[in-house]
Amino acid sequence: MADCLSFRSEMGCSSSIAVPEFSSDVVMGDGFDMRQLYELQDKLGSGTFGEVHRALSNSTNTHRAVKMISLQTSPASKSSGEGAKKRKTLDGDCLDKHKLKSAQKEAEIWAMVGKHKHCVELRRTFVDVNSFFMVMDKCEGNLLQYFSTFDPTRESEKEVARIFREMVLGVAHVHSKRIVHRDVKPDNFLLGGADGTEIKLCDFGLAAVEPKSGWLCGSHGTAPYMSPEMAGSSWHTKSTDIWSLGASAYLLLYYHFPYMPYGLENDSSLIKRTIIKGFPSPCYRRRGRSRGLPQPSQQATSFVRALLERAAPQKRISAEKALQLDFVREAGKRAPQPGTPHAAADDDEDEGVAPRTPVTV
């Protein structure tokens, strides 16, 4: 995609607000050896917090994806004596208790999401002395990859409206569960479903449960998609995801980020300062190498503008109300309402799920 650079997610200071306890039906560290039930295959991708591999269920011959998070202390932490609580594993390496706690939190929040047509489903988890594994539905690529081959001279804008609507549906469902995703971006929307065209929100590694006050703090996410309040490490709510959704839609429509310092596109600190200042402001036009392409419709532009409300986060449109904006409303006249679960068959029983037991290492 023209003018688009790759950025990694960031984890800032954590909130001082206590996260409420929750429970789920996802099997958490059930005592099975993951490799006895699944055959790990090729690597599908990697990120700041782990790798994702293709996996084949030995009992059902079904392909899944497995996120693997190393629980071993990094070499830098070992040599400097830094890091979180550590414990010797069976092979002599150090277990990083902070990594284990973070992985458990991600899995528990993801389990709260449950089944939904526009969210990647967490099937089960495993833990051993070296790694934490999260088994999920396998999808085919992400939206950034999809739009890199998207030709607006041949494709209808109705297809873009469908995609944006399904992105909003995924975020709306997560918000209905009192979860703030905090890393909404095209890379975290995958294509799945029976025909490989359904848009599904994934990666809950930076997600948090909304406290009773509604406010969280800290700086989390990926710089070009951060809301002004997130970029400034200020208090934030679910509305930060709406801004990130708008920044994602802006990139996919116009092929550049809404806020970007001239000539310093790879400097995350300057990008965040630009977002906070609001200057240079978005032009809402295709430019540079994409200047010759047809410009998006006024309805598409109005949709993005509604999401990128910067004057007051509390006035930013909600995901539910965003579904009523003209650009995506037409795409949803025959589609299920937000919050409707995906009625796919649950084949967990065929994959040897045992009763839930606590995670132990």
Distance CA 66, CA 11 (A): 22
In this prediction, residue 92 carries a pLDDT of 46
| Dihedral angle of Cα 328, 332, 338, 344, to the nearest 10 degrees | -130
- To which CATH superfamily is domain 21-138 assigned? Phosphorylase Kinase; domain 1 (3.30.200.20)
Check residue 30 and give its pLDDT.
53
- What is the pTM assigned to this prediction? 0.83
pLDDT value of position 76: 56
Compute the CA torsion angle 147, 240, 44, 127 (nearest 10 deg): -170
What integer pLDDT is reported at residue 74 of this predicted model? 66
Q: What is the pLDDT of residue 8?
A: 64
DSSP state of 206: T
Q: Are 25 and 122 in contact (CB under 8 A)?
A: no
Whether the Cβ atoms of residue 261 and residue 267 lie closer than 8 Å to each other = yes
Domain boundaries, the chain: 21-138, 143-332
Task: Give phi and psi for 217, each to the nearest 5.
Answer: -135, 170
21-138 shares its CATH topology with 143-332: no
| Burial readout 4-34 (b: 16 or more C-beta within 10 A, e: otherwise) | beebebbbeeebebeeeeeebebbbbbebeb
- Give the CATH fold of the 143-332 domain: Transferase(Phosphotransferase); domain 1 (1.10.510)
pLDDT in tens, the chain (361 residues): 544 555 667 755 443 333 333 334 444 445 578 888 999 999 998 876 789 999 999 999 999 999 999 998 766 554 445 444 555 554 446 788 999 999 999 999 999 999 999 999 999 999 988 899 999 999 989 999 999 888 888 888 999 999 999 999 999 999 999 999 999 999 999 999 989 999 999 999 999 999 988 899 999 999 999 999 999 999 999 999 999 999 999 999 999 999 998 877 778 999 999 999 999 999 999 998 888 899 999 999 999 999 999 988 999 999 999 999 999 998 877 555 444 444 444 454 445 443 333 343 3
Predicted pLDDT of residue 50: 84
Residue 80 token pair: 């400097």
Look up residue 266 and give its two tokens.
Answer: 């790879």
